[in-house]
Structure 1
Amino acid sequence: MKIDTSLTLRQLPETMSQADLQFTVATEEDFDDIMAMSQDIYGGLDYLPTRYTSWLQDTNRIVILARKEDKVIALESVCMIDDGETMLVEGLRVAPQERGKGVAGVLLRFCSELVKSKYPEVKVCRLTRDDRLGPKDFEKYRLITKQGILLVRFKAEDVKSQLSVLNKGKEIQSSSSTSSSSSSSSKCPPVRLDHTAVHQLYLTTDLMQGVLPNLTIIQDWQPFKPVPTTMATLLKKDIDWMVDDVSKPAVASLCTFPYRVPVGKDWYYLNIDMYGKDLDLVKEQFLCHLERHTDTLEGHVMCQMFLDPLLWKPMAEYCQNTLSVELVKEYTEQCVVESDVI
């Protein structure tokens, strides 16, 4: 499904524009202006620098800029997902001096009208928020699901050392334990899934219904429905898929391969989306992802895990007390919301 960017902006209703704003399709030449506008976003964890070029090449996506007196003051990206029924809004950026003036609302309405004019089959608009929702938000959106956000940082070398100690402890415990151990994690060791297993588990069975939050696959801030086009998109990405038991999963996770972030020299970002409510199984998969993806890293890592809100506190304590990593911030939430496209 290719978004036709040749649509002239004048084709949209006049009510969708604002006298002092101009809207253009983003290009590679706009990169520096956008980065200057969005400095210090997410404390150095902004994903936009690493995704901007690929967004421009995505045939299911359009990136729109709002300009004021020829200067870029806002950006928004819209991607068509879920077999064309969902308009996913991402990457909102507004220049600091223009915030609180209604620019974001005007830009969103413009993008919505642009998509509706080309894809009348679109039904809902979805976006992911990381702030507390208030009464006004629920006047505009309905909540689909939410996850707690656990953000920690550490030196890769330190965590590798801690993991080595934990693994030795497990070996000792395993050799002295009996086969009748009641530990859920020992009964169901993590299993990494290949593409065939991912497709079968998520699309051809009902096994994931009780695991996915409100039947939503949230991968690195992007919420999807488990449909064939979604899986085709996700399986093109560098993602580790894991479950505790392929025959009866209780916990599943998606780990995005680490990439550099502009926090400082040799800083990496590791993103883990965790589904399920069994604390022991969550710990087990978390450790497996850490072991696999820190093995070749040297330097600092910012690791962000999204998990069931009730598991946030015990996992935060586990990270600090057992792994000796630093908690970057207290509890925050990742909320997936949507509204009807009329």
Structure 2
Amino acid sequence: MILVSMFSSLDQQDNLLKTCCFKMKIDTSLTMPQLPEALSQAGLQFSVATEEDFDEIMAMSQDIYGGLDYLPTRYTSWLQETNRTVILARKQGKVIALESVCVIDDGETMLVEGLRVAPQERGKGVAGVLLRFCSELVKSKHPEVKVTRLTRDDQLGPKDFQKYRIITKQGILLVRFRAEDLKLRLSELGLGGDIQSSLSTSSSIPPPVRLDHTAIHRLYLTTDLMQGVLPNATIIQDWQPFKPLPSNMAILLKKDIDWMVDDVFNPTVASLCTFPFRVPIGDDWYYLNIDMFGKDLDLARQQFLCHLQRHTATLNGHVMCQMFLDPPLWKPMAEFCHNNLSLELVKEYTEQCVVESDVI
């Protein structure tokens, strides 16, 4: 058997510890346990990602997610998160894969994110080796970790059901539009300017309410009001599944998120919207992510309109908006986007699946 070691020498290990691990608070002094012979002969070397690796990572993952890659805008912040580990796999000195693992849920859950493998190395078992390495690294640092969670948007096969339990599913609605066209369309519908005031006069339903930090804490942590709204008691924010715990809320409230509910005293629908960020598909292209919870179509439409109006009002250019919602709402919401708002449907129905497995 051949051991896959993280570093070729103690000197290299000490240098890496000095340059990047103090900031990330990651213990990289681990020895990788023995791997199956077929995988150990892959000749991979592992290291903690640094800011200097950015260009090589971007070159390795060019065109991933159809040009909607979120990593360029988040890479630097990922390196600064103390509960996150970003590991690179190299082959003959070149970066061929990346994996990020984040410890959440009071230290009980290892959240796997950001996996990418260079095109020429796919199908060779690299992802499995890298994930195994990251798991061992996290378990050594956080022995209380019990489960691994990840979020997928592809179809789960029989082998997946042998490895994972499904926590929840959401439908994925992806639409595209020009910000200028949407502003004009909303104005034509009488929803320009202060859209919440417009909704209050044009509908018998009270307008949605944006939440401040105090209201978020009250709703999600000190009451049971969200239990019937959240899918399987899970807050899913931009592909990250969280249990409603104080430690997780501390993570979420550091992010730029627009929190909304229909009623602060008796919520039926809630939503979390990211602030728009640029994506590498082209110049003046932005991405907007909306996680919608609840089963009432009219209330979901209202919150969708409020998020769209608020977050595209100052934009010029193209917007890709991805909304995750209760699967039965997908078709009527897609029809509303096309027929009422003149938005282009980018792809047909797909699902976002949150799955987990026990850490052995």
Question: 1:111-260 counterparts in 2 under 5 A?
Answer: 111-167=134-190, 186-260=204-278
* Cα distance, 1:229 vs structure 2: 0.8
User: 1:83 matched to which residue of 2?
Assistant: 106
Structure 2 residue identity aligned to 1:70: G
Q: CA deviation at 1:29?
A: 1.3
Report how many aligned residue pairs link the two structures: 332
Question: How far is 1:12 from its partner?
Answer: 2.5
Shift of 1:7: 2.4
Structure 2 distance, partners of 1:188, 1:150, is 25
- Are positions 1:5 and 2:26 aligned together? yes
3-state SS of paired residue (2:184): helix
In the alignment, the residues of structure 1 paired with residue 280 and residue 199 of structure 2 have an alpha-carbon distance, to the nearest angstrom, of 41
Query: 1:181 matched to which residue of 2?
Result: none
* 2:94 corresponding residue in structure 1: 71
Question: Residues 168 and 221 from structure 1, CA distance in 2 versus in 1: closer, same or farther, beyond 3 angstroms?
Answer: closer
Superposed displacement of residue 187, structure 1: 3.0
The Cα offsets for residues 101-129 of structure 1, whole Å up to 9 and x where unpaired, read as: 11111111111111111211001100010
Match of 1:167, SS? coil
Change beyond 3 A, Cα 1:107–1:165: same
Q: Give RMSD over aligned pairs.
A: 1.9
1:92 to 2:115 alignment: yes
1:38 equivalent in alignment to 2:56: no
Which amino acid is the alignment partner of residue 75 of structure 2?
Y
2:35 paired with 1:15:
yes
Distance 1:168-1:235 versus aligned 2 partners, 3 A rule? closer
Percent of aligned positions that are identical = 80
1:62 to 85, 88, 94: 85
Counterpart Cα distance in 1 of 2:78 and 2:66: 22
Distance 1:22 1:157 in 2: 48
Q: 1:89 to 1:206 in 2, by over 3 A?
A: same
Kept in 2, the 8 Å contact 1:3–1:118? The answer is no
Alignment pair present for 1:279 and 2:297: yes
Q: Does 1:305 align with 2:323?
A: yes
Query: How far apart are 1:18 and its partner, in Å?
Result: 1.8
Task: Label 1:232 to 1:89 Cα distance change in 2 as closer, same or farther (>3 A).
Answer: same
Q: How far apart are 1:188 and its partner, in Å?
A: 3.5
**Which ranges in structure 2 are unaligned for 5 or more consecutive residues?**
1-22
4+ long deviations beyond 3 Å: 168-175
Gaps of 5+ in 1: 178-184
SS across alignment from 1:122: coil
For residue 143 of structure 1, what is the amino acid of its counterpart?
A: I
Residue 186 of structure 1 aligns to a residue in which SS?
Answer: coil
- Letter in structure 1 aligned against 2:153: D
Asked if the contact 2:24/2:80 (under 8 Å) is kept, the reply is no
Higher RCO (C-alpha under 8 Å, 6+ residues apart):
1
> Residues of 1 paired with 2:25 and 2:267: CA distance?
41
* 1:223 partner amino acid: P
In the superposition, the TM-score normalised over structure 1's length comes to 0.93
Q: TM-score, length-normalised on structure 2?
A: 0.88
Alignment of 1:310-325 (within 5 A): 310-325=328-343
Contact 1:4–1:118 at 8 Å: present in 2 too? no
SS in 1 for 2:236: strand
1:142–1:248 CA distance, 2 compared to 1 (3 A): same
Q: Does the 8 A contact of 2:199 with 2:207 survive in 1?
A: no
